[in-house]
Structure 1
Amino acid sequence: MVDYALRFLIGGLVVSLFAVVGDVLRPLRPKSFAGLFGAAPSVALATLGLAFSKHGGDYVAIEGRSMILGSIALAAYSFVVCQLLIRAEWSALKATLAALAVWLVAAIGLKQFLIG
């Protein structure tokens, strides 16, 4: 229970920090990057920090690699959803359900191919 509270607090602090950085850099960055600093993976960073303190660097390396592979699978899923919504004009429910298969194949395929 304490781990969840720490993740919540650390994640909230990191999100707040990135939001402040985003506001300070607002005049310097284009609108396309509007949510970049506010959408930082703060909970993942908090989780990795806690995992490092409990389990060490080897465990965190595996967790970090898994997060990277998961983000690649999510990018593939997001791309397919966008294509189905815009080009095929599917409903949101139909597009997201169909793209789940892409996410699953990408996630399992990346794990098998890169990790073994």
Structure 2
Amino acid sequence: MTEYVLRFIAGGAIVSVFAILGDMLKPKSFGGLLGAAPSVALATLSIAVVQHGPHYAAAESWTMIYGAIALICYSLAVCHLLMRFRLAALPSTILAFAVWLAVAFGLLAGLGGAA
């Protein structure tokens, strides 16, 4: 139960800091990027360091990096399918999800949790 309270407090504090930072940046649409993934990732990593130690958090951070690389590949695939092949949004995202899975699990299988 205390882990959930700690996650709530740490996550809320970090999200608030990133939201304030994002609000100060121009254009305002850029601020939304800072409100979600980076703040949640930092909260998760800080809790991982406290509960499991720095080696565990390092491995977890590498898996987050692999997921980010896979997200870039997914985004490029969606854009390519939408613009070049003129597919609708739903089929494009479903097909690109296979790209995300292949890249994410390929990186994890090939490089593991730590480099």
Cα distance in 2 for residues equivalent to 1:32 and 1:113: 36
- Decide which moves more: 3-12 or 90-99: 3-12
Cα distance in 2 for residues equivalent to 1:113 and 1:102: 16
Amino acid at match of 1:84: L
Q: 1:34: how far off?
A: 4.5
Alignment CA distance shift 1:5-1:95 (3 Å): farther
Cα deviation 1:2-54 (Å, max 9, x = unaligned): 32343233222222211212333x3xx45774434334521121111111111
Unpaired runs of at least 5, structure 1: none
Instruction: Tell me what 1:55 maps to.
Output: 52
**TM-score, structure 2 as length reference:** 0.81
Cα distance in 2 for residues equivalent to 1:78 and 1:39: 17
Cα distance in 2 for residues equivalent to 1:32 and 1:9: 26
**TM-score, structure 1 as length reference:** 0.81
Unpaired runs of at least 5, structure 2: none
Residues 22 and 28 in structure 2, CA contact (< 8 A), matched pair in contact too: no
Instruction: Tell me what 2:14 maps to.
Output: 14
Amino acid at match of 1:60: A
- Decide which moves more: 73-82 or 34-43: 34-43
Cα distance in 2 for residues equivalent to 1:32 and 1:88: 28
Q: 1:107: how far off?
A: 1.1
SS in 2 for 1:35: helix
Paired positions, count: 113
Identity across the alignment (%): 55
Cα distance in 1 for residues equivalent to 2:27 and 2:92: 30
- Decide which moves more: 62-71 or 3-12: 3-12
Instruction: Tell me what 1:81 maps to.
Output: 78
Cα distance in 1 for residues equivalent to 2:13 and 2:83: 36
